Homo-oligomer: A and B are copies of this chain.
Amino acid sequence: MELIDGNQIAAAIAAELKAEVAAIQGRKPCIALVRVGEDPASVSYVKKKEKTAAEIGITSRIILPPVTISQPELFALLDALNADPDVDGILVQSPLPKHIDEVATFRRVSALKDVDGFNTLNLGKVAQEDDTGFVACTPAGIMELLRRTGVDLKGKHVVVVGRSLIVGKPIALLALQKKAGANGTVTICHSGTADLPALTRQADVLIAAIGRAEFVTAAMVKRGAVVIDVGINRVADPSKKNGYRLTGDVHFPSVAPLAGKITPVPGGVGPMTVAMLMKNTVKAFRLRAGQ
């Protein structure tokens, strides 16, 4: 069994981006990070993104509207960022307060600055195999993990557990593309699948993104399979100071001995998400600059 080290791969990508950004003359790529309110998880995510941007040499502009901001005010703020020539990428940190329509907000971000890849047009481009758009960071990160650990999906059966808009569907579409590294045969399972273990046991590459702690057990995995764990779940653990531990959608202790390769949680897919956000920001800069 080989452990796929997401921290190491994300660091390698950051180093590549740093060299790339250093070579850019004049104005550097800039990402606007919009965080509404003071949700503690959001505070820490945005801090991490700001820090990674700084390490790479990407300018970040932190915008912190109060939790009481109205939908029209938030839209006006996004419209201004969409129109701002010095801003290349815009990230609106989720979750948003309940009075804000999240989908409408993500759609308000210009497709050209949608570095999170949540815009309808960018999802359509993934389906159309059109590389001028932005791929959502988690599925893009998974493809990059596979590529950089020598996993070619050609002729492989990729089984995705979970059909979310942000992970399950785009990773299925990416795995299916007629491109080097992809060309997989893809099955998408979910909570309503009749005999899920019978399908997951067929997977050469198993992607768990169903959002249930330790849902995938050894009995569901074929020996030698590549296992990508997208889940980040909090499980109560009185032995920990904060009262919980983080765990993935895969029961790591039983699955790891079986797997050919496997991502840990934390330290697998998670760190890739921020790296891909930065990669998308540099891409947005180049597309806008015509470089």
Pairs across A and B, CB under 8 Å, 9 listed: A103-B128, A124-B124, A124-B127, A127-B170, A157-B194, A157-B199, A169-B173, A185-B190, A187-B188
Number of this chain's copies in the assembly equals 2
Which of B103, B123, B190 touches A127 (beta carbons < 8 Å)?
A: B123
**How far is A119 from B130 in the complex, measured between Cα atoms in Å?**
12
- Cβ of A122 within 8 Å of any chain B Cβ, yes or no, is yes
- Cβ of A163 within 8 Å of any chain B Cβ, yes or no, is yes
Decide: A187 and B185 in contact? CB cutoff 8 A.
Answer: yes
- Cβ of A26 within 8 Å of any chain B Cβ, yes or no, is no
Per CB-CB distance, the 8 closest pairs between chain A and chain B, nearest first, are A124-B124, A120-B124, A187-B187, A123-B124, A185-B193, A155-B194, A183-B192, A123-B127
Interface string of A168-189 (1 = CB under 8 A from B): 0110110010100001011111
**How far is A169 from B127 in the complex, measured between Cα atoms in Å?**
7
How many residues of chain A have a CB within 8 Å of chain B?
A: 35
Contact residues, A151-166 vs B (CB, 8 A): 154-157, 163, 165
- Cβ of A125 within 8 Å of any chain B Cβ, yes or no, is yes
A170 to chain B, nearest CB (A): 8
- Cβ of A121 within 8 Å of any chain B Cβ, yes or no, is yes
Contact residues, A108-154 vs B (CB, 8 A): 119-125, 127-130, 154
Contacts A120-B130, A155-B194, A157-B194 known; A185 to B185 CB distance under 8 Å?
no
Decide: A163 and B176 in contact? CB cutoff 8 A.
Answer: yes
**How far is A172 from B185 in the complex, measured between Cα atoms in Å?**
13
Contact residues, A8-44 vs B (CB, 8 A): none
**How far is A119 from B192 in the complex, measured between Cα atoms in Å?**
30
Q: Is the interface of A mostly helix, strand, loop or mixed?
A: mixed
Residues of B with C-beta under 8 A to A155: 192-194
Residues of B with C-beta under 8 A to A199: 157, 185
Decide: A176 and B169 in contact? CB cutoff 8 A.
Answer: yes
A34 to chain B, nearest CB (A): 21
Please name 19 further chain A to chain B contacts, defined as beta carbons within 8 Å, in addition to the given A155-B192, A157-B194, A185-B194, sorted by A numbering. A120-B121, A120-B124, A120-B125, A120-B128, A121-B121, A124-B124, A124-B127, A127-B169, A129-B165, A154-B192, A155-B193, A155-B194, A156-B194, A169-B173, A172-B172, A176-B188, A183-B192, A185-B189, A185-B190
Residues of B with C-beta under 8 A to A163: 176, 178
Residues of B with C-beta under 8 A to A130: 120
Residues of B with C-beta under 8 A to A165: 127-129
Residues of B with C-beta under 8 A to A157: 194, 199
Decide: B192 and A185 in contact? CB cutoff 8 A.
Answer: yes
Residues of B with C-beta under 8 A to A154: 192
Residues of B with C-beta under 8 A to A128: 103, 120, 123, 165
